[in-house]
Chain A
Amino acid sequence: MAVNGKRGYRSGLLNLGVGEISREIFVNEDIYAEEQERIFARAWLHVGHESQIPKPGDYFVSSMGEESVILCRDRAGRIHVFLNSCRHRGMKVCRYDEGSTTVFTCPYHGWSYGTDGRLVGVPYFREAYHSRLDKEKWGLVEVAQLCNYKGSIWATWDTAAPPLTEYLGDFTRFLDLQLDGWDGREGQAEVLGGIQKWLVPCNWKFPAENFSGDTYHNISHRSVDLAGIGPSGAGRRDMGERDASRKLHVCIPDRGHQTILYVLPAGKLPPPAYMNAPIVAEYFRHCAEERRRRRGDESRLIGAPGEIFPNTALLSRQPRTMAAWHPRGPHQTECWRWFFVDRDAPTEVKQFLRDYYIRYSGPAGMTEQDDMENWNYAHAASRGTIARRHPYNYDQGRGTAVADYEYQGLRVPGEVIDLTEVQSSEQPMRNFYRRWAEFMEADDWSQLATWRSGERKAAE
């Protein structure tokens, strides 16, 4: 496969032109090691949310790729992300999950760092170091760039990476669906206490490609639909707004971000939902009206599963949650989930949503359980000698995406496939893996930030 005229990463692994991808990418140790260098060391990664660290001194230990990091707010109120590793001999300087502190002290030799990362305490600095250690050089390793986007905290180790909003490009509005208020006010989200963390025996790209927009696997969730956990009693979610909408795959080809998206007809508000709780139903009805008033046509966008390259999954409603798929070797992923509500939503609304989120997502989530089972055993099957000779089929809907999609006056950016009749496509996966190959091959951002030179990607 040729990417921008180049030979392409490990020629033969990806044949997007015929919709085939080798199983090797999920199980190969060398490829995994290269991913840590070429992807996780360069891309923007989701670390947490400002509502987790409201006051100076607050911290939350997170993960970027394989590595433990500390998200904290210093005494002056500035937010930082540091590598959770003493500069002296590496011991973690924080092994609590979250809390509040004035310093991070290493238990091994006592080096101590302020919440701004500066090295402040060095035992026997005068005696053993003869006051010669340059403390300014030995503070905690800090990320190259950090961005607080509407409360969500993102970071990258790469000084050359484009700023976050440029990295997101036209996908920014879909992250907005996640973080803005249901009523259309900007950035109203807060994180519910308790971040779910659990291990799944699969490569991180299985969940990543699933959340890129797997519209084909609905059958796998038939049991939860039959059990009926939805907020109106039936199915697993309220389908009214989806049934009333065009169903789309939206791919931002230059960036490798993609999402399922629903678009309501012009002038139509979302149908009633959350019917199991009249207070909640009324709240969302009111929010939908307010959103229409504030945002006009843009409020016709209804969020659904999406993925920001490489490993941040979005789902902005029913349930409202973000996930990070942290690589833990090629054969294991540590999944983290944050759950959101609007910070000023009534208590009854927050509680109702919280109950729903718990039974939908995560290891006790009656929906997500079946996803993980598939990822687990699909990964296991990918390891076999014979299995690896047979590529996976990613051919669905190839060649059918269009640019300049418009529905009743609302333009949708990127390469779009209207799924309303065709039901499904695998365009998002092809988009994701093409970007994956670009990251694996690119020497620097001049080869990754191709939009800067006006180079236009073709849909595949």
Chain B
Amino acid sequence: MAERDARIDRLLLGQEIADFLYREAELLDERRYREWLDLLADDIRYWMPMRRNVKFGEDEREFTRADSDINWFDEGKDTLSRRVKQIETGIHWAEEPRSRLSHLVANVQLQGAEPSFAAPQQVSVTSRFLIYRNRVQTETDILVGRREDSLRRNGAGWLLARRKIILDQNVLLSKNLTFFI
């Protein structure tokens, strides 16, 4: 019985976290950026390393490092807020007219919960994404990869405290990153 309860706790938590990620994706796709920012913890770290082609066995060289190397993104809430502010000026030409975006979130896997699945305060979750971006007339980008997230309990809901984005590209194939992943 206890084992079944534990499995149910995990199942319910997994669904709750997946719902959070889907809702987050919808906010971005609907361009409700202010509400999206409200889902971010004040101390969020939002990091997307660059990837190198490396020799078999030299995986330590593959990703650029947080804090010291150049990355695609490696920033906190202040900079993320300024990105939103820039879009909201209506004159950020790289995102004006605005792109049409669809964030497909898949392979959501609850990795862990502290202190417990029954009463979690912090959760780690991985997911994969496929982002379809279409802009102006025929400009189309597809970005695919994986996310490693840490969520923190906030009242009845959650905040995104940390996101590491692993994009499956080397040379970036889209001319810009004016959208969130």
Contacts and interface: CB of A to CB of B under 8 A. Distances in A.
Direct contact of A and B (CB under 8 A): yes
B111 interface: no
Contact of A355 (B72, B75, B85, B136): B75
A95 interface: yes
B107 interface: no
B89 A226 contact: yes
A366 B58 CA distance: 33
B116 interface: no
A99 B83 contact: no
A165 to B, nearest CB: 29
Given A97-B53, A98-B61, A193 B69 contact: yes
Nearest to B73: A364
B53 A95 contact: yes
Interface residues of A, number: 44
The dominant DSSP class at the B interface is: loop
Interface in B134-172: 136, 170-172
Interface string A324-343: 00000000001001010000
B177 interface: yes
Contacts of A97: 52-54, 170
A363 B55 CA distance: 26
B82 A363 contact: no
B73 A358 contact: yes
Contacts of A337: 70
Contact of B68 (A200, A201, A351): A351
A359 B79 CA distance: 8
B91 to A, nearest CB: 5
Contacts of A220: 93
Interface residues of B, number: 41
B32 interface: no
A123 to B, nearest CB: 21
Interface stretch (A12-20, A79-87, A256-264, A371-379): A371-379
A228 B67 CA distance: 22
Interface string A189-204: 0001111111111000
A194 B92 contact: no
Nearest to B173: A199
10 contacts: A97-B53, A194-B64, A197-B172, A198-B174, A228-B82, A355-B75, A359-B82, A364-B73, A366-B82, A370-B94
Interface of A: 95-99, 192-201, 220, 222-224, 226-229, 334, 337, 339, 350-351, 354-355, 357-359, 362-364, 366, 369-370, 372-374, 376-377
Given A194-B71, A357-B70, A369-B95, 18 more contacts: A194-B49, A195-B70, A199-B174, A223-B92, A227-B82, A227-B83, A351-B67, A354-B67, A354-B70, A354-B74, A355-B79, A359-B79, A362-B72, A364-B176, A366-B83, A370-B93, A370-B94, A374-B93
